[in-house]
Amino acid sequence: MEHSSMSMAQAGSGQLDPLSSVGRPGEPGAACTPARALAELHAGNHRFVSGTPRHPNQDADHRAAVADGQHPFAVIVGCSDSRLAAEIIFDRGLGDLFVVRTAGHTVGPEVLGSVEYAVTVLGTPLVVVLGHDSCGAVQAAKAAAGTGSEPAGNLRAVVDAVVPSLHRAAERGVEGIDEIVDIHIACTVEAMLDRSPVLAAEVDAGRCAVVGMSYRLSAGGVRTVAAVPAAMAADATPARAAA
C-alpha cells in the first residue's frame, strides 16, 4: 500500500502561533495541514520539556467557546500509561486533541472507529501513535512470550495485540525493551492503515498523516519513529523550524 502522495513542502515553514492559529473556535480542523498540526504538537512538547508551558485553551472563556462544536487538530492514539497524558505533554487544552488510549496503544475496531470519526467527520488532519519507553504492556507481552504463560482475563487481548510486534523485533534481532517499543509503535501505524481503508484513503488523498512517536518518561520529549507519508518523519521542532 502506497501512502506517499502528499507534498510536505510546507513542513517547518512560517511562523506558528499555537495559541491563535490552531484550535480556534469556529476554525475547522480541515483548514489545518498535517505538517502544521505536527509542528504545533512539537512546539507544545518543547514548551513542556523546557518547563515553560502556556496551558492554552484551558480557561472558562475557551471552555464556553468550544461547547458548541469541536475541531481538534490531532488525534492521539496513546498508551494508557498514567504518565502519558496527551494534553499535558503537548501543552494543549480543550478542543485541541482527540485522544484514544489503550494499554500499549493496541488498536481494535472501537479504536479505529474513533480515529475514523475524528478524521472524516471532524476533519482532523493528523493521527499520532504515542508510545513510550519502559512500556508495561510491551514488557508484559515480552514476559508472557518468554515464559509461555497466558495472562488472565482480558489482559490477554492486550498481550496478543503486541505479539506481532515482538515477532517483528525477533526477526531483526532486537531485544531491548525500548527498541521493541519503537518497533511496536511503527507496527501500530502500519496496522491502523492496513485495517482502516477509510484512514488510508484520507492519507492517500493528502488530507491526513499518521505519525508514530516515542515519549521518554523522564525527559518528557517525543521522538518520531515512523510516519506516513515518510516526509512527516522529520522532527519539526521549533529550533529546526526557525533554521
Q: Which residues are at the interface with Zn ion (CB under 5 A)?
A: 79, 81, 135, 137
DSSP track, 35-69 = HHHHHHHHHHHHHHHTT----TT-SHHHHHHTTT-
User: Whole-angstrom Cα distance, residue 97 to residue 74?
Assistant: 5
The Cα–Cα gap between 134 and 186 comes to 16
Please, which residue, 57 or 188, has the CB nearer to Zn ion? 188
Known binding residues for Zn(2+): 79, 81, 132, 135
Cell digits for 173? 534481532
| Nearest Cα residue to 236 out of 17, 3, 37 | 37
Detail the residues annotated as belonging to a binding site. 79, 81, 132, 135
Nearer to Zn ion, 16 or 180 (CB): 180
Strands (E), the chain: 74-79, 97-102, 126-132, 209-215, 222-228
Nearer Cβ to Zn ion, position 136 or 206?
136
End-to-end CA distance of the chain: 34
CB neighbour class for 152 (10 Å; exposed up to 12, middle 13-18, buried from 19) = exposed
Min CB(134)–Zn ion separation in Å: 8
Nearer to Zn ion, 135 or 210 (CB): 135
Residues with Cβ within 8 Å of residue 18, at least 6 apart in sequence: 40, 43, 44, 54, 56, 92
Q: How far is the CB of 206 from Zn ion (least distance, A)?
A: 31
Minimum CB distance to Zn ion smaller for 78 or for 95: 78
* Nearest approach, Cβ of residue 81 and Zn ion (Å): 4
Minimum CB–partner distance for residue 140 and Zn ion (Å): 10
**Residues 213/182, Cβ–Cβ less than 8 Å:** no
CB of 137 to Zn ion, least distance (A): 5
